[in-house]
Structure formats: C-alpha cells, structure tokens
Chain A
Amino acid sequence: MEQFPALLRATDHQPVRYLVVDDSIFARKNLARIIDSYGGMLAGEAGDGCTAIAEYDRTRADIVLMDITMPQMEGIEAAERIVRQHPDARVIMVSSVGYQENIVAALQKGARHFVQKPVKPELLYEVIKYVLGDAAITGQVSQAGESLS
C-alpha cells in the first residue's frame, strides 16, 4: 500500500489517533491499514453507533471515521450524539451510500466531511488533512506498521 507523509498532532508531534466505526470487520481492517499508511494510530474500533459513542468517550480520538448504515444505531445519529457532547469532535462519514440527502443530513448533524466508499486512500488523506487543519503537521513518509496499535 502506498505510504503517505505522516500526519502528526501539532500540539505534541504524536501520531494522529483514529476511531474507526463500521459494522463490517473487513472495512474496519481496511481503514486500519489505510490509517497505518498515514502514520496514524488506531485508538479504537466500533461496529455500531452505540459502541462508537462509548469508544469516543474513552479514546477522545482526533478523527472519527464513521460508516452510515449500521445495526442498532446508524452513523448519522451517532455522529450527532458525539458532536453534541463534544463539539470539537472531528467526524468524517465514510459510506457507500453517498446521496445528497445523506451528505447534507450528516453535515447538519455535525460531521465535518463525507467520503464515499470504495475509499481512495489519497482522497481520504486530503480530507483528513483538511479537517485537521492547524491541528496537524506533516512529517516524513510513514513506514508500514510503525504506528498501528
């Protein structure tokens, strides 16, 4: 997998920490590999919206990558609840269901961006950089497996 210049937190120069939320184990593994290629750290995983809320409370991840269609509680509602409790949370929706209505609803509920599956690592990288803004700096090209927890 292509490696990218590491995204580091501007405050302490540590790897950006990610929470990955998707009911598909396969999708979570794939996102974990992509995060690794960004030099990031996987802070937590969740397979549904309820678990995502608890995991965000526990990890306070810098970035949440959130699927939409999930059992129990869908991603848009989970994003809304996380952002309501933590207005500075950075949630990026990552879903194959990318119609206008869904995107608008997600952004209205507090998500910062939307990326349609299948995920293109180079596109997601740019979106994460944009969402982090001044909170991140770019380091050297990451080595695979360097930061993945």
Chain B
Amino acid sequence: MRMELIQPFINAADAVLSETLACSITVSDISMNEEAYQRHATAAMVEITGDIEGRVIFDVEDGTAMKVASTISGNMELDPDPQLIRETVAELANLVIGNAVTTLNDQGFRFKVHPPVDHPALQGFQGAEDIEALVMDFSSPAGRVFMNVAIRYNRRRRADSRTH
C-alpha cells in the first residue's frame, strides 16, 4: 500500500482523536493484515470509490467512544449506551475519513465517500489480493482506537484520465 495514501488517514485520526478525546494520542502499533479483519469493540466502515477505492474500518473501545461522546457534547456526563456508542463510532469514522479525503482531494484525487455503516460482524472484510489492509492501533489515556485501512489507486480510472 502506498504511504502517500495512508499518511492523510494517520494525520486525520491523530488530529480528530486528539481533539475529541482532549488528550494526546500515540500510534502504538502498525501492522499489515492479510487475514479477515477481527473486530475488537464497536466498529463502523466507510467505503470510498473513485480515483482511490477501498474501505476504512474504525474500531473503538466502548469507554473511548463514551469519552468522545462526552467531549463532543460539552463534557456532559453520559450513561454508557450501546446505541450512543454506535452513533459515536460512526460519527468519529465520518470525521476522520472526511478530513483525510479533504487532504487527498486537494492533492488531485477525485472520489466519493459513502456514509458510515455499522460493522457488527466479529470477523469479515478480508483485504483482497491486491488490497492489503493496514491496521493502526492508536493509544491514549482514554483508551484504544483501531483503524483498518484497505485502499488502492483505481488503476482503470487513473489510466483513463491519462489518455484524455
């Protein structure tokens, strides 16, 4: 996987998580994942189509999601609730991916970001033969967040655009 495609996602996750968790974030582990993705906690998936295609899974520990929900809600004390956690993870995915694709678009890539969907299965979405998945483990005092990115250049689109 090309680093220039991945870096905007790392930068966006770092910026959005730092802001929404109100604490510092570190990338504690990065690994390639050729197996089906193993969900850790509550996950949402966003599909990307266009010059770049693939999908990003955002997987957030419940306590971390509640901390984000509290921070975004003006530091209100909130009771843990599965629905609120799912909504928070989806919105977090939306924020990170939206910010990442903003950077990529300003670099000249054109694509569509689809709305986040729940990723309830414990296992699934194996990287295809030519789309390896990169898994990043973000750690913070408020808990852990996993981001699984499997994207690639859409070769046909890029070739088409070169011929026109």
Chain A residues within CB distance 8 Å of chain B: 1-2, 23-27, 29-30, 33, 37, 69-71, 95-102, 116-118
A8 to B97, CA, bound (A): 35
Interface of B is mostly: helix
Would you call A26 and B98 a contact (CB within 8 A)? no
Given the interface contacts A1-B74, A30-B72, A117-B95, does A97 sit within 8 Å of B87 by beta carbon? no
**List of A residues within 8 angstroms of B20 by Cβ:** 118
Complex-state Cα separation, A71 to B110, whole angstroms: 19
Question: Whole-angstrom distance between the alpha carbons of A97 and B114 in the complex?
Answer: 11
A1 to B76, CA, bound (A): 8
Given contacts A69-B98, A118-B19, contact A23 B74 (CB under 8 A): no
Residue B106 is within 8 A (CB to CB) of chain A in the complex: yes
B105: A residues at CB distance < 8 A: 99-102
Q: Give chain A residues whose Cβ lies under 8 Å from the Cβ of B110.
A: 101
Contact of B87 with A24 in the complex, beta carbons under 8 Å: yes
Chain A nearest CB, measured from B49 CB (Å): 12
Residues of A within 8 A of B87 (CB): 24-26
Q: List 25 A-B contacts (CB under 8 A).
A: A24-B91, A24-B94, A25-B87, A26-B84, A26-B88, A27-B91, A29-B73, A30-B72, A30-B73, A69-B115, A71-B115, A95-B98, A96-B94, A96-B95, A96-B97, A97-B101, A97-B102, A97-B113, A99-B105, A100-B105, A100-B106, A101-B105, A102-B105, A118-B19, A118-B72
Residues from chain A with Cβ under 8 Å of B75 in the complex: 1
Kindly supply a per-residue 1/0 record for chain B positions 93-128, scoring 1 wherever the CB is within 8 Å of any chain A CB and 0 otherwise: 011111101100110001001111000000000000
Q: How many residues of B contact A (CB 8 A)?
A: 29
The smallest beta-carbon distance between A47 and chain B, in angstroms, is 10
Choose among A23, A26, A118 the residue that contacts B16 (Cβ–Cβ < 8 A): A118
A33 engages B91 (CB within 8 Å): no
**Chain B residues positioned under 8 Å from A37 (CB to CB):** 74
Q: How far is the CA of A23 from the CA of B114 in the complex (A)?
A: 12
Minimal Cβ-Cβ distance residue in B for A97: B98
CA distance A146 to B116 in the complex (A): 33
Check if B13 is an interface residue, CB within 8 A of chain A.
no
